[in-house]
Amino acid sequence: MKYYIIAGEASGDLHGANLMKALLKKEPNAEIRFWGGDLMKNVGGTLVTHYKERAFMGFTEVLSNLNKIFKFISQCKKDIETFAPDALIFIDNSGFNLRIAKWAKPKGYKTHYYISPQVWASRASRVKTIKATVDHMYVVLPFVEDFYKKYDYPVHFVGHPLVDGIANRVLIDPKKFREEHGLNDTPIIALLPGSRKQEISKMLEVMLSVVDDFSGYQFVIAGAPSQEEAFYRSFIKKENVHLILNKTYNLLSVSHAALVTSGTATLETALFKVPQVVCYKGSRISYEIAKRIIKLKYISLVNLILDKKAVTELIQTDFNKKRLTEELQKILDDSERASLFLDYYNLEKKLGGKGASEKTAGLIIESLK
């Protein structure tokens, strides 16, 4: 069989790589062509375009790059027609993927969507488009399955692929890891400022503003694979601030607490049982638009899945040095940490256990028989 996969951003690359491994395990001779990143490329197949080339964040940045985006869409359609896949698989990245799905379905391509667009958060009207253009939907969050039931659209809840990614990682020697990266024996506070340059610039400056108030700790920035080391170094002014590139899971495995930009990283941090403060700050225009279209009680996946305020969220003007210092101090307190650990264990149960990629690959292959 021939599979065409379209993923965007670092998280899509990770989930796409794991899905590709599962497909190839079940079907070693499968041909795979994809839009993704280095992780997918390392599995095999043919990379068409890297996600770094189309990483546009926020409403204003998207608007200013519309010509580039439309060129990518046109290129993608032509490439799909040339490859003629048996299955077209979309991974998250709804702005791009739903446009391709609307074009692909009438042409007879079998369409699969792994990790649903966040229609449960905003613009639920897109469910109509999904029902009309996506043959099979595989969701990774339990409440999303319930959301689609309201629209009479059956989906497959396959569990979250992060559970597999974390469970199957190569374990490290904490002492050796610290030595290799010049870290001392004091507790580590991990800083996860996001993956896009624009996002990191907004988040990291505020995160680092609290360093002097926590002299008994060392702060370590988790560098994203999409950014250069020099970019991060420009923010580092203190001796107890370190940078580790492209080893976020290893860093979380030895961390005592974390400051995390809202997104998939909040869920990863929770699965490593690391107490966290969730942070978010966008441009004023993007935030004002988002506030009007997103109808959710929380922004972090941890709180959304648990349907309660388990982790503190500091959003926009609340994301400042004073509030961040207060909330970080709380999660360093033993009593606060004990309660949070219980919430994290409940969260993992709700995610449905291991095997998301295997289940999804099996369902895709079965549907093609």
Q: What is the pLDDT of residue 226?
A: 77
Half-sphere exposure in the Cβ direction for 128 (13 Å, CA)? 3
In whole numbers, what is the pLDDT of the chain averaged over residues? 91
Least confident interval from 174-178, 239-243, 281-285: 281-285
Q: Is the dihedral of CA 256, 236, 174, 41 positive or negative?
A: positive
Spatial contact of 253 and 172, defined as CB atoms under 8 Å apart: yes
Q: How confident is the model at residue 64 (pLDDT cuts 50, 70, 90)?
A: low
* Domains parsed from the chain with CATH numbers: 2-160+353-368 (3.40.50.2000), 171-350 (3.40.50.2000)
Average pLDDT over residues 44-63: 72
Q: How confident is the model at residue 153 (pLDDT cuts 50, 70, 90)?
A: very high
Q: What is the pLDDT of residue 191?
A: 98
Contacts of 137 (CB under 8 A, 6+ apart): 112, 113, 116, 130, 148, 153, 155, 156
Least confident interval from 51-65, 112-126, 211-225: 51-65
The residue type of 346 is: N
At residue 108, the 3 state secondary structure works out as coil
Q: Does the structure show a pLDDT above 60 at 58?
A: no
Percent of the chain with pLDDT over 70: 93
Q: Per-residue pLDDT tens for 201-213?
A: 989 999 999 999 9
Average pLDDT over residues 168-177: 92
